[in-house]
Structure 1
Amino acid sequence: MPDVLTESEVESLLAALEPDGPVAPAPAGRASMDADGVALYDFKRPERVSKEQIRALRGLHEGFSREFGAGLSNLMRTIVEVKLVAVDQLTYGEFVFSLENPTCFNLLRAEGLDGHMVLELSPAVVFPLVDRLLGGGRSTAAGDPPPDRPLTEIESRLVGRMTTLAISSLSRTWESLIELQLSLVQTESNPQLVQVVPPNEVVVLVAFELTLGEARGMMNLCIPFNTLEPVAGQFSGDAWSTYGKRSSDPREKVVLDRGVSRARVPLDVTLAVTTLTARDLAELAPGDVILTECDSREGLELRVGEKPAFRCRPGSLRGHKAVRVTGPVLKPVDPRLTPSAAEEERAKPPAQPASDPSTAASS
């Protein structure tokens, strides 16, 4: 019986027949140089997402992985680790044919982006999570392979809780860029039955690894480029931030208000300012009156932290010298303004701290 050549031996024989020796294949989706120095480009796999945008998407969804992992751990009452594995661009056809069949294929509608997204959960992690929700855990500990079947109606409803949690985390993650308003449109077990975009359309694939005990599985977020294109310009170093705006917590407002209300603020009131000669100062006696250029009808000026804030009048309170706040200090008016414009400028209320104008400040 003749000897059979191995695959490596066949490749070696074919490489020896090449006149210029073996040629290493160019990576898919990348431009390569031929012998004449011309860059070859594969139009079936165009690169429409820049490296800077890929890095921004990675940073954005790293925050999502942490938030979703914490929420999923709370739902399962055990530690579930969610780790971002890769962010890459490929065609939709390559993405679909790389998935298992059956799988948990969720089609999401993104109102803010006027398009769709795909959230796919691998059966290797879906069934252990469902088993955990139903009070089990035996298959998770033993590492048994997942059943080769679609989800039942009860299992689909339980997986829907995880999908809802992921949608909520995604919406909060993307709120720094746009309000997504994600909603679940369809759930399928066969990914080839759902045609979101043409097979040659470029998509961004964000891959996560979920770990529950000894069970490990992938969760894939597929974003078609035509869905991402309206906000693609925001994924740049000077226009994008990983952490978005967060709504203020009422408890934080109470703590801040209590802390600020106990802070000490220096108050200073100047009665009057005038100039005297040394002779007049030396000849002063009790009962003498010092004339100043300040109008008594205008009141005194109360400064808060070296800044004029209020008008006040002197007095006494419980045996202490005090001042009564009568109103805010009027803002200075530009002399170049007309009289009517100056009056409008004076009428504008200045920014002032929240306080009772009738409060007396004791000195």
Structure 2
Amino acid sequence: MTSTRKLSTNEVNALIDGLNNENEAAPAIADISESTDIRDFQFGSDDLSLLGDYYALRMINERFSRLARGIFLPMLRIQPRISSFPPEVKTYDEYSADVDNFLSMSISRIEELRGSMMLVLDPTFISILTNAYYGGKISKIKNRKGEFTSTEERVIELISEGLNSALEEAWKDLMRISITPTSREVNPQFVSFVDGSDLVIICSFVVQLPNVEAASFDVIYPLQTLKPIASQLRSRVQTDLVDDDKSWKERMEQAIMEIPLKIMARLGEPSVSMRNLITLKKDDTFPMQVNDGVDILLEDNVIFVGEVGEMNGQAAIKLTKRIAE
């Protein structure tokens, strides 16, 4: 949920002054060899590189994107396309400076990591979801600053619960977590679970909607929350906890089981000469010999042999043998 930030007048003036002074003599370099403030630094040991390239977290976000589509389906009556961006690391103050002052910010506790996370939703996106959920069209709604209505609060609750469940499912590839909602805020400055100078990992997602601009939402983890599993987040090897997407498999299986198939009973294939065919008239009969039963065909493939009979006053065929493949 980033936005373009314009430089202030003071910042512009500072840049101009720096360009004007670039030809001036460089100041003398101070001798700090005896300073007590000097400390050793090891490259790769800083917080920004702690989690490497976030490979595991990117995999979690991609799976979460697929699972989250089903959360928005009942409200939008379509299954939107959701894409994930690579995780970013910023201080919370830097993140707050790039977003609006009116947002839905749902804070939850991850007990297994002994930390918290935050789900950030844009108010315009919430208005679109609310309007579509109660029968309206998916259309751009004028964004208002202030507070959410009770109806929108209910939609926020439904979305937060659904996305938290999808996030728990997505994390199963790495470890099992349980997400418990704790509080909700509407202003980034009022968030208390993280300090302004603390580093946070920002996972942004874009929701493609028809006829309107793409919407977005963020999942934010404090860096301290993910530190205990830094080695796992750097790993490119899947763990033993990988579970299949059962909901997807169940829907696929159900869809396959509902495919209509054409079944036909072939009583016989008598032959007739052209002479007899020309002289055929009403009430003429063809002799037909049924030896070991009639063939039962599925999509033109013989799969059973059966006997012709009657059941409950209707013609029926009793299956007597399955044709081996």
User: Shorter-normalised TM-score: what interval?
Assistant: 0.5 to 0.7
3-state SS of 1:235 partner: helix
Higher-Rg member (1/2):
1
Q: Which residue of 1 aligns with 2:271?
A: none
Matched, 1:229 2:230: no
3-state SS of 1:157 partner: helix
Matched, 1:184 2:181: yes
Q: Which residue of 2 aligns with 1:323?
A: none
Q: Distance in 2 between matches of 1:219 and 1:242?
A: 30
Return closer, same or farther for 1:11/1:164 CA change in 2, 3 Å cut-off: closer
Contact 2:55 2:235 in 1 (8 A): no
Deviation digits for residues 324-360 of structure 1 (CA, Å, limit 9, x no counterpart):
xxxxxxxxxxxxxxxxxxxxxxxxxxxxxxxxxxxxx
Amino acid at match of 2:23: P
Count of residue pairs brought into register by the alignment? 226
Matched, 1:18 2:19: no
Contact 1:125 1:215 in 2 (8 A): no
Task: Specify which of 242, 245, 259 is matched with residue 244 of structure 1.
Answer: 242
Return closer, same or farther for 1:242/1:159 CA change in 2, 3 Å cut-off: farther
Q: Which residue of 2 aligns with 1:129?
A: 129
Shift of 1:46: 4.8
- Structure with bigger RCO (C-alpha 8 Å, 6+ apart): 2
Shift of 1:251: 7.7
Q: Distance in 1 between matches of 2:192 and 2:14?
A: 40
Amino acid at match of 1:208: F
Q: Distance in 2 between matches of 1:115 and 1:224?
A: 8
Q: Which residue of 2 aligns with 1:115?
A: 115
Amino acid at match of 2:126: V
Contact 1:88 1:205 in 2 (8 A): yes
Shift of 1:176: 2.3
Amino acid at match of 1:225: L
Q: Distance in 1 between matches of 2:144 and 2:181?
A: 25
Q: Distance in 2 between matches of 1:228 and 1:207?
A: 17
Q: Which residue of 2 aligns with 1:209?
A: 206
Q: Distance in 2 between matches of 1:242 and 1:106?
A: 31
Q: Distance in 1 between matches of 2:131 and 2:142?
A: 13
Return closer, same or farther for 1:217/1:60 CA change in 2, 3 Å cut-off: same
Q: Which residue of 2 aligns with 1:313?
A: none
Q: Distance in 1 between matches of 2:12 and 2:125?
A: 36
1:1-363 aligned within 5 A: 14-19=18-23, 46-52=47-53, 54-137=54-137, 140-141=138-139, 143-213=140-210, 214-240=212-238, 244-246=242-244
Amino acid at match of 2:103: T
Shift of 1:241: 5.8
Return closer, same or farther for 1:11/1:242 CA change in 2, 3 Å cut-off: farther
Q: Distance in 2 between matches of 1:94 and 1:151?
A: 25
3-state SS of 1:47 partner: helix
Shift of 1:9: 10
Shift of 1:11: 5.4
Contact 2:126 2:152 in 1 (8 A): no
Contact 2:108 2:116 in 1 (8 A): yes
Amino acid at match of 1:47: L
3-state SS of 1:86 partner: coil
